[in-house]
Each structure stands twice: as C-alpha cells, then as structure tokens.
Amino acid sequence: MAEKLYNLILINRPVAQATQDFMEIGKEIERIAPEIQVIVVHADFDPAKVPEQFWTRPTLTVSFTLPGKFRPRRGKIYHGYPVPKFEQMKKFAAAGIPMPKTLSYPWGRQLKKEVWGDHVILKATALDAMSNGDTAFLMRTERVHELAGVVFPDGHPARKAPLLVQQFIDTGEYPSSYRVLTLFGEPILSMIYKMNYPRPPLDASDEEMIQGTIASNRPPHYTHLLQADPEVLEFARRASSAMPRIPLQGMDFIREEKTGKLYILEVNPGGNTWHFSSQMSEEGRREISREQRMAQFDAWKVVARVLASRVRNEAA
C-alpha cells in the first residue's frame, strides 16, 4: 500500500521572517517526514501558479502573519492576526491564566486605592503609541485622574484608542519581564529583559515617577538574555491555549518579586515576533545573534517536529 502523501504550505513575509529560515525548516521537515512536501510562498503569491498535481494531496497552510492574498485551494489555514488587548484579557480570564487587574480607563475617573493598591500603570493601547514601552507610566493610584492628561495631552497618538489602567506588579527595583515565543504552544525562544538602572522609588514625587522608565523592554535602557526558566516555559504553554488558532505567539510575562507569582501581560499574535530574522529585531541580534537564538532549543528541529505533527493530524 502506497504511503499517504501530504502538503505543507508556509506563507512568508520577508519583513517578518527571512525566507531562508522557512527554506531550512522545510528541508528539516522533509528529512524527518519524507511524506510531507513543503513549499514556501510569498503572501501575495497566486495559488493558480501552484502545479495542479499539488492540490491532489491533503494540505495544511501556516502563516505566522496575516496570509495576504494567498489562499490555498484546499485544507485548513492557520495564521496570525491582531487581537485587541481587551479581547486578549477576556481570553486569558476564560483560560484561567493569571494577569494583573486591567481595565479601560475613562478620562478623569478617580481610582480607589482599596481596589487597585497604592500604584498603577497607565498605558496607551493605540497601535502607533505603544512601541517599546515608551507610553507606560507608573503613577500613584489617587493621582491618575489628574496626571493622565499630563502624560497624554491633546493630540497625543494615545488618544486615538482607550487607555488601559493596570495593577502595578512589582518585579523589583530593576524591572524585568519575560518574552517566550511559542509555535502551537511549544516554546522555541525564551528571553528575560532587565532594566539597566532602577525604576523610580515608590515614594518618589509624581514628576519623578512619570519621567522615569518602568517598562523593562524599552530600549536602550534594558539588557536581554536567553533564559529557559522551566516554570516560565510551562506557563507559556498554558497561556498559548487561550488563542489556539494563532500559530506563532510572542508572549510577555512578569514575575512579582515578593511572591514569585507569574502574570501574563499580553500576547503579540500578529506574527511580527519571529526575532530569529525579523527586521524589527535586527538591532537586538547584535546582542544575541540569530544562531544563538536558534541554538537555545534547537529551534528549527522543534518547529519541524511541531509542524510535521500538525500536518499528519490536520491536513485535509
């Protein structure tokens, strides 16, 4: 009896992932699973140009970003897509994933210390106002209603979308956070970000607080290191289950210094988190190279194994 043959289509956006990466992963898949034929296509490739014989086999298509114009003629497609922060929070809650208390902040509302604690973080959610943590501010809870308009004045990009107020989880004098990249729930890259200098003291003046840096992933004020903390990796596996349809997830976590408890901050589900080769992480690769990132978990072999399993179980 002839062996069943399958197709895997990987949709590539070179700005987000180097084509070379997908070609190398494709070769590894064909090495461990010779019954799977892998093709790599650009997001705007015309499916009519794929040979007719290709479509006679069960097919699975995976895109880490939005798939663009390419649509497979058969089979399931998994792809990344933006998920608003407040929708993410609902999904985390439904999945039982711990997260800091977070709500949309109505302009001018006075917050209660007995609900939020002594300090909160005020954040922008507008896409063009969220880069690198430079619109996240530590504030005294009772002062937010007065200071929100100071840090986000009229005309600020942050005013295009709701603000977010978040319970302050103290990760220590030198703030830190974790980034774990998962593919269908399996970690393929794990880092810790640490501030190079202290956050403002919690008894500092309001002015010192809002002028200080609180986000541990805000360049050039941080150092990032490869770190494979088993507890963090298991937390990432659990957290990825909140959005099972999204293949590539760049998840951000924090650990409370006093209790050691882990909290999820957000998932970056749009796919621009393939920092082995993404243009966004070009500067970061000067500190941790592509090869070092790949070697942490032998990423290409993990990706190949995960994708091959998906094809065998879900190609149609």
Q: Which of 106-120, 202-216, 226-240, 284-298 has the lowest mean pLDDT?
A: 202-216
Tokens of residue 291, six digits? 């090869």
Instruction: Write the CA distances from 25 to 20, 28, 98, 135, integer angstroms.
Output: 9, 5, 34, 37
Instruction: Write the CA distances from 96 to 25, 238, 247, 263, integer angstroms.
Output: 33, 9, 20, 11
Nearest to 250 by CA among 167, 313, 190: 190
pLDDT per position as a tens digit, 70-98? 999 999 999 999 998 889 999 999 999 99
pLDDT per position as a tens digit, 215-258? 766 556 688 999 999 999 999 999 999 999 999 999 999 999 99
Query: What are the structural domain ranges in the chain?
Result: 6-80+299-314, 82-100+169-269, 102-168
Report the predicted TM-score, pTM, of the whole model to 2 decimal places.
0.91
Higher pLDDT, 248 or 199: 248
Nearest to 310 by CA among 13, 7, 69: 7
Q: How many residues does the chain have?
A: 316
6-80+299-314 maps to which CATH number? 3.40.50
* DSSP string across 233-260: HHHHHHHHTTSTT-SEEEEEEEE-TTT-
Class of residue 283 by CB neighbours under 10 A (exposed 0-12, middle 13-18, buried 19+): exposed
- Supply the pLDDT for residue 255: 97
> Mean pLDDT throughout 128-148?
80
pLDDT per position as a tens digit, 152-166? 988 888 888 888 899
DSSP state of 84: -
> Mean pLDDT throughout 6-27?
97
Residue 7's beta-bridge partner residues?
Answer: 37, 59
Non-local CB neighbours of 289 within 8 Å, separated by 6+ positions:
none
At residue 1 the predicted structure's pLDDT band, cuts being 50, 70 and 90, is very low
Tokens of residue 296, six digits? 């942490």
Identify the CATH homologous superfamily for domain 82-100+169-269: ATP-grasp fold, B domain (3.30.470.20)
Q: What is the 3-state secondary structure (H, E, C) of 112-173?
A: CHHHHCCEEEEEECCHHHCHHHCCEEEEEHHHHHHHHHHHCCCCCHHHHCCEEEEECCCCCC
